[in-house]
Each structure stands twice: as structure tokens, then as C-alpha cells.
Amino acid sequence: MSSPELCFLSVHELSEKTRAREISPRETVEAHLAQIDKLNPEINAFITVCHEEAAAEAALAEEEIGSGKYRGPLHGIPIGVKDIIDTEGILTTQGSSFYPRNVPAKDAECIRRLREAGAIVIGKCNTHEFAAGSTTKNPHYGACANPWDTSRVPAGSSGGSGAAVAARMCPGALGTDTGGSIRGPAAICGVSGLKPTYGRVSLSGVFPNSTSLDHIGPLARSARDCALILQGMAGYDPADSASADMPVPDFSAEIEDGVEGLRLALCPDLIQIDIDQSVERAFTEAVEVLRGLGANIETVACLFAEELNTERRPIADAELLAVHRDNLDKFPEKFGDDVRARLENARRTTLDSYIEALRKRVILTRKAEALFEPYDGLLLPGYVCVGAPIETVTATVNGKEVPFLGASRPLSGPHNFTGFPAQVVSTGFSPNENMPVAMQIVGLPGAEARIFRIAHAYEQATPEVRNRLPEILKS
């Protein structure tokens, strides 16, 4: 197998071939580093590329596997890491002007676990400044481009992670999600991405955005790959106050079981924003695919849907401002315009509204759990539109121009508020722009394995979507 071909294999495929010693970690890492060197100048998915470090880790992995010390499915697999997640000895900028030379002394807990599982950090992925926006048009490290159309954004804030996976620079990457920052890039870049249950993955060593809404999760090219990456980093961390002490199941255990007999819900009340026809059409077709596979699909009303968005905002704003208030007071000019504006707006959030929102979240989450308890999953569109032009950052939704920044947060944010896990899977392409569109699958807390099962069944039934490649990969 030639080196370029290795970049087109999934995490699962690379893992199987590595375990069988058909390929080596060194070959895999070298192939992906070459792909980064080839495409990153145009896409700018990576702020830092770990040429020497990744090569050394690959050599060690090769030695371990050769001596019979195989660690599991992630051994020798290169992973991109969003640049707000600490990596020992590797520049971690937070996508900001405040940390241009920040080299952490230790790994974030999620990275420590992935390294223990044998994964290799291949580089640090571009992000919206401080992960505080949805375009990844970074004023300090340059805009990240969407591999499907390099004049367009990859969404954000984990845009570099989504773009890197879509461009085959790495088979999987880590992102963070406070209001849709994993799911947005997954949808807009045509890959798969999971926001796990709140507390499923430790936040230790991750620069905070809104600590009670922050999640860490994988982006990859399939639900199966996301399951493998999640397996490597999930688990209780007593050093993280947000960590949930819950059992860690085998996330891939039921992935081949299909959807026949499963109860899936549609909830129009949770779609509180105009959805472009291209997204809506592909979503409707995806629902019918799942119905054709044997799923029972029902429509359910959610009378408190509007409150999920209303009460999320004070929490997001108050907690973000708490992180940045001192720097905003002393060095406002060091923030990008959009992030500074967001922080200034957050000053209007009162302590009373924040405390009340925290109280209401408990009640509303209980209501949501009761409402969706009979169902195996909730189906929603993945994003409101396709990626907007980098130059204008203005999206088109059913012929109307709207700001892309924050456009889809009403669709994704409620699941940060409740902490429910949510997976995005690509459903096709817009007919005019040839840009990816997607579906979101939401489950109850702890139900990642069931979500992966639903997503995998859909992916297996729609290979034509998965087999389509960006033009940039055909040259």
C-alpha cells in the first residue's frame, strides 16, 4: 500500500492493518505528515505540526507492537488536537494573542489517556480565538479553510479539527463543544463528530470557555471511528469538578446491531430557527432511510423547548466573561473584534440571571430526560446551512443573508445545556454549492453507544455520501 493511500483509511481500518502488521505506525505517521505538508498551506487546519515528536512516538509504537506490546485500536494512530487542549512540550496557543509561546508542562487528562492507549499527537489544530466563536476565522493565526471549498469557513470553534479530518491530514481529531463547536465543523466539513455526555471526558488541562457547558469529543470520518477515540479518553477524573463518575461501556459493542425496532423521535419544537432547504431536504431523506431500515419514528412535542435556549445564554456569557474579565479590562485590544464584542455583551449578564438559569437547568434537564426517555434517539438537522464565505462570513439561508457566527447555536446549544450526548453525521450535499449538510442524533446521558449504533446504521446505508471527496483531494 502506497503512503498516500494510508491517508484515506479510517481509524478502524488503520487499526486493523496495524494490529496485523500489514502497515507500521511509522508509515502511517509519515503519510499523514506529508499530507499536512501538502495541504496545510492552503487549508491552515494546523497551527503547529509535530514532525519530530510524532515521528519519535511512531518509532516507539512500532517497537512496542513489534515486541508484542499492542495497546489496542489507537496504538500508532495519529490524532489532531484542538489548540486549547494542553499537550506536554508542544505549543498550545488557545488560538489567541495572549499565549503565543505557551508550552504546557503536562498533558491534559484526555491526552494522557489517549497516549496511554497508544495514540500519537500529530499536531495542534486551528481554532476560533479562545474557542469563542463558530467561524475559525482566527485573527492571530489565520483563517482555516473548508476542504470542500477553500473560500468558505469550516465552522467552529473546532474548525481546524474538522478540516484536518476532511482533508485526510489525520484520521481523527479532538474538539471541544460549548454550543456546537464539535458538531458544527463535523456538519460543515462533511465528517462525523460527537459531543459526549457532559462529564464523560475530563476537562482537566483544557482552556475553559463555559465550564458547565464545555465538552471534549472526537471528530473522525465515521461513527465507528468516533467510538474508538472516545473509548481511549473517557472515564472519571477526580481532579475535574465537572467529571461524571459513570461506568465506561464498550462504545462499539452494539454498533453493528442496526436500528430495526428502535424508537426515534422528531421534535419540530427544538428547531427554533430557519433551516435552509438543502439541509431540510437531506434531513427528511435521512429520516426515511432510517425508517426504511426498520426504525419506528414518531413526532413528539416539547413545550419547554424555547427555555432551553433562553436559559443557556446567561450561563454561557457569565462563565465566559469570568475567564476573560481581567484581560478584557487590561488588554481589550489583544482580542479579535468578534470575541471582544461578545465579551463586552456578556457584561450585561447579571448575577441573578446566572443563578436563576443554573436553577432552571436542573428542572428543564429533568423534564427533557422524562420526555425523551421512551426513545432511543432524537433526530434533528445538523446545521442550519452550508459553510459561509471566509471573506464575508455571511451565510445564505433560503435566499436570505444571515451572519454565520452563532447561526446554528439555537439548534445545537440546548444539548450543551442538558448535557445530552449528540452525534453529527453527514447526510449529503447542497445541490448548488456542493457543500456538506448533516443530521444530528441526540441521546439520553450515557447513551453514546446507542447513538453510535444509529449513526453507523445510517452511514452503512448511504455509502455514496461517505465515498465522495473534496476536489482538493483529487489533485
* Residues involved in catalysis: 82, 157, 181
Judged on CB neighbours under 10 Å (0-12, 13-18, 19+), 240 is middle
Q: Are 178 and 209 in contact (CB under 8 A)?
A: yes
Residues 11-30 as b/e (b if ≥16 CB within 10 A, e otherwise) read bbbbbebbeeeebbbbbbbb
Q: Which three cell numbers stand for residue 64?
A: 512496542
Q: How far apart are the first and last CA of the chain?
A: 19
Question: Is the CA virtual torsion 197, 198, 199, 203 positive or negative?
Answer: positive
Give the Cα separation of 30 and 306 in Å (integer). 49
Give the Cα separation of 283 and 97 in Å (integer). 39
The CA-CA-CA angle for residues 353, 304, 266, to 5°, reads 135
CB atoms within 10 A of CB 354: 18
Q: Give whole-number Cα distances, 462 to 208, 259, 290, in Å.
A: 37, 14, 10
Q: Helical H runs in 20-158?
A: 25-43, 51-66, 109-116
Q: DSSP for 71-86?
A: --TTTT-EEEEETTB-
